[in-house]
């Protein structure tokens, strides 16, 4: 539960942006849903674009923290699978209608280079985490493995809305397991 007006505005805006779209959600809608006045929003965020950037940054920080915790807790040789599982858990809990970063990239590609770049950087961070996990698992010799896993996860971001979480995540895990088994067999 949000503990301050700032946090309350972030949480409300995140939910509305995710469910209704960034451009479709106006400031009046956000302040009404948050139970604050317009001036309160502008006391915390200079503009709607600043609010969007703060929402994306906060969500990305939470997502990366969940991935980092999963990787840190992973058994030896299981870091990549742990990240895949953490990604799946995130989709089930917070992203059953697709990825907010992909939505932001789509909506802001022509409207705000800064917002688009922020969302794209979040994707780059995910790929970097996967590269580190693949290396930690001793599979960095397999060219493109991290990118392949990344592509599967990105596909699951879309598939979850179409197929449902259980099917999309089960299929995602099966494909990643095949990639990992193949990469490990090439080590021997």
> pLDDT tens digits, residue range 75-110?
999 999 999 999 999 999 999 889 999 999 999 999
For position 140, what pLDDT does the model report? 86
Mean local confidence (pLDDT), 26-35 = 97
Same fold, 1-45 and 53-187: no
Fold of 1-45: Arc Repressor Mutant, subunit A (1.10.10)
For the chain, the domains span 1-45, 53-187
Query: Residue 1 above 80 pLDDT?
Result: no
Query: Residue 138 above 80 pLDDT?
Result: yes
Classify 36 in phi/psi space as left (phi over 0), alpha (psi -120 to 50) or beta: beta
In the numeric block, which tokens belong to residue 67?
Answer: 């991935």
Assign 2 a pLDDT band (cuts: 50, 70, 90).
low
Query: Residue 176 above 80 pLDDT?
Result: yes
CA neighbor of 179 nearest in space, from 171, 125, 66: 171
Classify 119 in phi/psi space as left (phi over 0), alpha (psi -120 to 50) or beta: alpha
Tell me if the domain spanning 53-187 has CATH number 1.20.950.20.
no
In the numeric block, which tokens belong to residue 168?
Answer: 């999309």
For position 188, what pLDDT does the model report? 56
């Amino acid at each position: 539960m949000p503990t301050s007006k700032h946090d309350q505005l972030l949480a409300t805006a995140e939910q509305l942006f995710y469910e209704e779209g960034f451009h479709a959600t106006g400031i009046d809608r956000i302040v009404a849903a948050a139970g604050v006045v317009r001036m309160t929003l502008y006391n915390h965020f200079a503009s709607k674009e600043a609010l969007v950037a703060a929402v994306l940054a906060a969500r990305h920080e939470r997502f990366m923290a969940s991935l980092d915790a999963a990787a840190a807790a992973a058994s030896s040789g299981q870091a990549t699978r742990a990240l895949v599982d953490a990604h799946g858990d995130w989709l089930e809990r917070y992203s059953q209608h697709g990825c907010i970063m992909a939505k932001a990239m789509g909506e802001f590609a022509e409207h705000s280079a800064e917002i688009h770049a922020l969302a794209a950087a979040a994707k780059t961070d995910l790929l970097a985490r996967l590269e580190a996990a693949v290396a930690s698992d001793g599979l960095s010799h397999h060219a493109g493995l991290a990118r392949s896993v990344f592509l599967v996860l990105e596909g699951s971001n879309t598939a979850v809305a179409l197929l449902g979480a259980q099917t999309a995540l089960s299929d995602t895990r099966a494909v990643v397991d095949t990639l990992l088994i193949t990469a490990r067999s090439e080590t021997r």
